[in-house]
Chain A
C-alpha cells in the first residue's frame, strides 16, 4: 500500500481530478474575468479591448468603489474590535456557569446564525421600519420620539443599522468558536494560574488568551474575509442606499455588471476585489502568525 502511494504517477492520478475541479471552477473563471476586465463588454454581443482603462477609472475617479472599500473596513473594525471581544467575554462567562444554563444561552445566541439570511434581513427591515417597525414604536412609547428615525434610509443611521444586522447574525458563530476554544483549555492551567496568585483578568490575558490564539486567529481571518465579501445582507436591506452610503464592493460590482450592463467594468472591479481581499487576508495571516510566534 505504501509502495502504491509512493508511486508518483498514482499520486498524480489521484490529485488530478481535484486539481481539474479547482482549475475549471476557480482559475479559469478568474482568467476569463481578467480578460473581460480589459474590454468594454456589455454582457453579450461585440466588444472591444480598452486596455487598463477600466482599472484606471476605478482607481482614480470611482468614488463609489472607495466608499465600498471603506464600508468593508468599517465593518471589519466593528467585527474585530467590538463583536469579537464581546463574543469572547460572553463565551468566557458561559464556560463558567452550569452546563444547563450555558446550553440555553448558547442556543439563544446561536439562533440568528441558523436563520436564513433572507429571514434575518426581512426581520430587521421590519423592525427598523419607521411606520410599523417595533423599534420606533418602543422609542415613541418611552418618550424618545426625537431619535425615532427611518433607520435604514436615514443617511446618518443607515450604515450603522446595516452593520448592526450583520453583527447580530454573525455573533452566534463567533461565540460558538470561542466557547469551543475555551472548552479545550485544560482546567488545570487556569487553576494553576489562580494558585500562583493571578486574578481572573491576568489568568485570561496571560494564559488563556495566548493558549487560544490559534482559535482567535482562525476567527479573525474568517471575519476579515466575510466582511470583505459582504453582499446578501446589503442587497436584501438597502441595496447600497441611501445614495451609496451603505455600498459594498460585491453589491457594487453586481450592479455594475448586471444592472448597468458594464460587464467589462464589473469584471475589473471583481479582479481588483480579489487582489484586495487576498492581499488583506495574507497581511492579517502574517500579522497573526508573527504574533503567534511571539506568544
Chain B
C-alpha cells in the first residue's frame, strides 16, 4: 500500500512538472468553420507551430463576426483577452483597444521579410506604432457570370453609364443585373466611397471631411451621392436590396439568377464553391469597378484596404512566444491561404498554374492599381459615425432622402464624431 502511494505521488509530481512546462497559448478568431477556408488554414498553421514548438498547446475560441466582437469587448473589460487574436484594424474596432492599452505594440522590423504589400502594415499603425499584422487585402470589384453576359449579348462595361445601361437588357431576360448585401449596408457605403472617388479622383477627400478640413456637403460628395442614387434607381440591383442579406445576395449570383455581384476578393472561392453548379464555377470572373464618363477617377484607382489582422494582448504572459507565433503565421499564411482559396493575402503570393480565372484576374487588378484608398470611410471614425453612415445610405437607397439631405446628415454626424474625439 505504501509503495502504491509513493508511485502515485511520483506520478502526480511528474504530471504537475509536465503541466508546468506546457505553455498554453489562448487564441481567438472569427472563423468557426475549422475544416474549410480560413479556419482550416489557421488549424494547419497551429498544428505546424505546435509540432515545431513541443510543450506549446493552442486553445482557440472562434465565433462569427458579431458575437466575436462582443466577446472580445467583454474579455477586454475583464482583462482576459486571448494571448493572440484576430481583430479588425479599423478605428471603430482596434483603435479603442489601442487607446485602452489592451494590445502590445510590435516592431515593424520583425515582419520586414514577409513580403507585405506596400501600405498594408501602415493600416495597423496608430500614433506611429504598429499594433498588429495584416492578413488580408480587401478591395471592391464586380464579379460577373460570363455565360449570362453572353446570353444577353453584352460585354464587360468600363463606365458606370454603360453598366447602368445593362440593367434593362438583363431584366428582359429575367435576370437580376446586379446583387449585393444591402441589409448590412456596409457594401452600400463602400460603393458610395467608390463613386465619390470616380467623381473627384481623390481618395483622401473622405479623411479630409472627417478631419473637418472639408465637408461632406461639398459639391463632389453631393455629386457622388447623386451618382449613387442614379446607380440604385437605374434598376441594377435586386428590388429588395435593403433587406437582402449577405447569404441571399450571394446565392442569387451563385445560382445564376443574377449577372453581377459587387463584393471583395474574399469571395474568390465562388469559383470553387461546390454548392454552385459546374457551369457557374466555369463562368465566374471579375472586373474592375467602372469609371464615370465625366469623372476624374480612373479604372486603376482601387478602393482597397487591409481589414483583418492579428494582435497580441498586452496582458499576455507569453509575449515572446506570441511574437514567435505571429512571425510563423506571417510566414505561412500567404501560401496556405492562396492554396486553399481562403483569402486574398496582404502579402505577395506566387501565382500558380492551377489558379482559377477569378484568382488570376484579382491578382492582376491589385497589381494594376495605381493608387489605393486605404481603410473605408465607415471605419475611419467612431462606431456611431459608421452606424449613421449605414443608416443614411439605406435611406438614400430607399429614396427616403435626397442626395443633398444625405450629405447634410453625413456632415452633421462627422461633426459630432470630430467633437467626440
Contact = CB atoms under 8 A, between A and B. Distances in A.
30 contacts: A42-B96, A44-B74, A44-B96, A45-B76, A45-B77, A45-B96, A125-B243, A128-B240, A130-B239, A131-B238, A131-B239, A131-B240, A131-B257, A132-B257, A150-B239, A152-B243, A153-B243, A153-B398, A237-B243, A241-B394, A243-B394, A243-B395, A244-B391, A259-B383, A259-B386, A259-B387, A260-B383, A260-B386, A261-B384, A262-B383
Interface in B172-221: 176, 183
Interface in A213-242: 237-239, 241-242
A258 interface: yes
Interface string B236-278: 0011111100000000100001000000000000000000000
Nearest to B400: A243
> Chain B: interface residue count, which band?
20 to 34
B77 A242 contact: no
A202 B66 CA distance: 56
Contact of A152 (B240, B394, B399, B400): B240
B26 interface: no
Interface in A229-282: 237-239, 241-245, 255-256, 258-262
B394 A131 contact: no
Contacts of B96: 42, 44-45, 261
B382 interface: yes
Interface string A135-161: 000000000000000101111000000
B153 interface: no
B398 A155 contact: yes
Q: Which 8 A-B pairs have the closest CB atoms?
A: A261-B383, A242-B398, A45-B100, A130-B239, A260-B387, A243-B395, A44-B77, A150-B239
Nearest to A238: B243
> Chain A: interface residue count, which band?
20 to 34
Contacts of A260: 383-384, 386-387
Nearest to B238: A131
Contacts of B77: 43-45
Contact of A153 (B74, B99, B176, B239): B239
A44 B76 contact: yes
Interface in B360-401: 382-384, 386-387, 391, 394-395, 397-401
B73 interface: yes
B279 interface: no
B342 to A, nearest CB: 27
Given A45-B100, A237-B243, 5 more contacts: A44-B74, A155-B399, A241-B242, A242-B395, A243-B398
Nearest to B384: A260
B387 A255 contact: yes
Contacts of A243: 391, 394-395, 398, 400-401
A261 B242 contact: no
A44 B100 contact: yes
A259 B257 CA distance: 32
Contacts of B176: 131
Interface of A: 42-46, 125, 128-132, 150, 152-155, 237-239, 241-245, 255-256, 258-262
B252 A131 contact: yes
A242 B92 contact: no
Contacts of B401: 243
Contacts of B395: 242-244
B399 A241 contact: no
B24 interface: no
B398 A241 contact: yes
Contacts of A261: 92, 96, 382-384
A151 to B, nearest CB: 8
B36 interface: no
B70 interface: yes
Contacts of B183: 239, 241
B132 to A, nearest CB: 17
Contacts of B242: 153, 241-242
B400 A242 contact: yes
Contacts of A153: 239-243, 398
A155 B66 CA distance: 27
Q: Which residue, A46, A237, A239, A245, has most C-beta atoms of chain B within 10 A?
A: A239
B100 A242 contact: no
B99 A258 contact: no
B23 to A, nearest CB: 27
A131 B241 CA distance: 11
A262 B384 contact: yes
Given A131-B238, A155-B399, A243-B394, A46 B243 contact: no
B187 to A, nearest CB: 14
Contacts of A45: 76-77, 96, 99-100, 102
Nearest to B252: A131
Contacts of B238: 130-131
A243 B392 CA distance: 7
A245 B242 CA distance: 12
Contacts of B384: 260-262
A122 B398 CA distance: 22
Interface in B323-366: none
A56 to B, nearest CB: 15
A150 B242 CA distance: 10
A44 B243 contact: no
A241 B100 contact: no
Contacts of A239: 183, 243
Nearest to A161: B243
B216 to A, nearest CB: 18
Contacts of B398: 153-155, 241-243
A153 B188 CA distance: 15
B9 to A, nearest CB: 42
Contacts of B99: 45
A255 B384 CA distance: 10
Contacts of B100: 44-46
A97 to B, nearest CB: 40
A132 B102 CA distance: 48
Q: Which residue, A129, A153, A154, A258, has most C-beta atoms of chain B within 10 A?
A: A153
Nearest to B78: A44
